[in-house]
Amino acid sequence: MKIIGPCAGIGLRLRPFTLSKPKTLINVAGKTVLEHILNKFGDTFDSETELILIVGYKKRQITEFVKQKYHDKFKLTFIEQIPRGYNDDIPFYWGLGEAVYLASSRFEELNCSSKEADKREGSLIFLADMIPIDEYSYLMYKYYESDVDGIITIMEVPKEDASSYGVVIVDSNSLIQKLIEKPKDFVSNLAIAGIYAFSNSATKALFDIIKGYLDKRTDNSKEVYLTESLQDLIDSGFKIAAVNLKKGILDFGRPSEVLIGNRYLLEQQSVKKETFPELNILTEKSFIKNPVYIGKDTSIINSVIGPYVSIGTNSRIENCILENCVVESETMLKNVISENSIIGSNVKVENISKNNLIIGDKTAL
């Protein structure tokens, strides 16, 4: 099985953080979002698995990061998604459909001898700003043990929020009948949760369907969505099941969701004061209330930190009170009182008492 990860998007909803880095490299609970995702893959897939990342915006940052961290964990392939155009030097793309199709060059023509072999030679597609809480081993079990051609993960969302998602309608056997992208009227609360697995034959058929949409593009066309191609795949006879992520996902597409995800991840593993000396973490006249994450070579002076605070490496926090905040690396905060804030890397902020701050990288206030 090959893993496909579209990572080309610019993350407009996460500006100003994504002015200087792609959204999948935002740090939460001591790791980048992409790192959290790929570490979970490492628990299920071996080093012979090909990881195909579709890169675009800030492509060098992603390729260098992944090569450094995962060169011995996966067989790495990087494919660039070329921008459709630019708005004020900001690139925009042809969408998730094209990103997935770009991986088609890595799939050879195969005549699989059995349905099991067809599944083994298939694809797993993930979105680079979503971390499933359920383990991938659970998803793979559902994929291999069910008499289907593929699975799409779903999660139940409140009825009033359903219009913000792509949703599915399923039959009594959890087979997907319809996929609707952000429906205006309520039809289902089963939201697509961003993980897909398909057999080789279903993957190749999906590529062919997407290519049909790509070939019809004009300058005035909308971006090519994946949802409509998946609907065509189902209509052509492939059986695709919905797998409910009972624990849900962590979505890092908006600032508020970054804080929610950070909070959850910290609850799973918080820093221990016993590790401070080996990490060169200095605390003086400060109160640290777990769960928190504090990066190495960081100093915390005369401050109250936590709960639910992540602080990156080589930072200095002095005379501060922080709760439910993400602070990235090499940042200096002095006389700052804040809750529910996200502060980028290489930032210097002094003398601010304000909640819900959003401060991008390399800012001085």
Considering the domain architecture, whether residues 279 and 228 belong to the same structural domain is answered as no
Among 258, 289, 308, the domain boundary falls at 258
Has residue 345 been placed in a domain? Answer: yes
Structure-token match 């200096």, residue found:
332
Cα separation, 53 vs 24, whole angstroms: 12
Considering the domain architecture, whether residues 119 and 20 belong to the same structural domain is answered as yes
CATH number reported for the structural domain that contains residue 58 in this entry: 3.90.550.10
Considering the domain architecture, whether residues 135 and 244 belong to the same structural domain is answered as yes
Among 258, 286, 303, the domain boundary falls at 258
Q: How many helices (H) and strands (E) does the chain have?
A: 9, 28
Residue-range definition of the domain harbouring residue 83? 2-258
Complete DSSP assignment for 132-165? ESS-HHHHHHHHHHSSSSEEEEEEE--GGGGGGS
Considering the domain architecture, whether residues 212 and 280 belong to the same structural domain is answered as no
Residue 267 has a CB neighbour count (10 Å cut-off) of 13
Has residue 114 been placed in a domain? Answer: yes
pLDDT of residue 251: 85
Has residue 264 been placed in a domain? Answer: no
pLDDT of residue 89: 79
The pLDDT tens digits for 55-98 are 999 999 999 999 999 999 999 999 999 998 888 778 888 889 99
Cα separation, 306 vs 286, whole angstroms: 11
Considering the domain architecture, whether residues 240 and 321 belong to the same structural domain is answered as no
Considering the domain architecture, whether residues 160 and 192 belong to the same structural domain is answered as yes
CATH number reported for the structural domain that contains residue 350 in this entry: 2.160.10.10
Please work out, in degrees rounded to the nearest 5, the angle formed at the alpha carbon of residue 230 by the alpha carbons of 66 and 134: 50
Cα separation, 291 vs 29, whole angstroms: 10
Integer CA distances (angstroms), 304 to 160, 301, 313, 341, in order: 37, 9, 18, 15
Strand 31-32 vs strand 27-28: parallel, antiparallel, or unpaired? antiparallel
Residues contacting 211, CB < 8 A, separation 6+ = 101, 104
**Contact between 101 and 203 (Cβ < 8 Å):** no
The pLDDT tens digits for 13-27 are 888 888 888 989 988
Q: What is the pTM of this model?
A: 0.90
pLDDT of residue 265: 93
Q: How many domains does the chain have?
A: 2
Considering the domain architecture, whether residues 157 and 113 belong to the same structural domain is answered as yes
Kindly tell me the burial class for residue 306, based on how many C-beta atoms sit within 10 Å of its own C-beta (0-12, 13-18, 19 or more).
buried
Considering the domain architecture, whether residues 297 and 251 belong to the same structural domain is answered as no
Considering the domain architecture, whether residues 282 and 252 belong to the same structural domain is answered as no
Has residue 315 been placed in a domain? Answer: yes
Residues of the chain with pLDDT under 70: none
Considering the domain architecture, whether residues 239 and 351 belong to the same structural domain is answered as no
Cα separation, 86 vs 90, whole angstroms: 5
pLDDT of residue 288: 94
At 268, list the tokens. 């799973």
Has residue 265 been placed in a domain? Answer: no
At 126, list the tokens. 């993930």
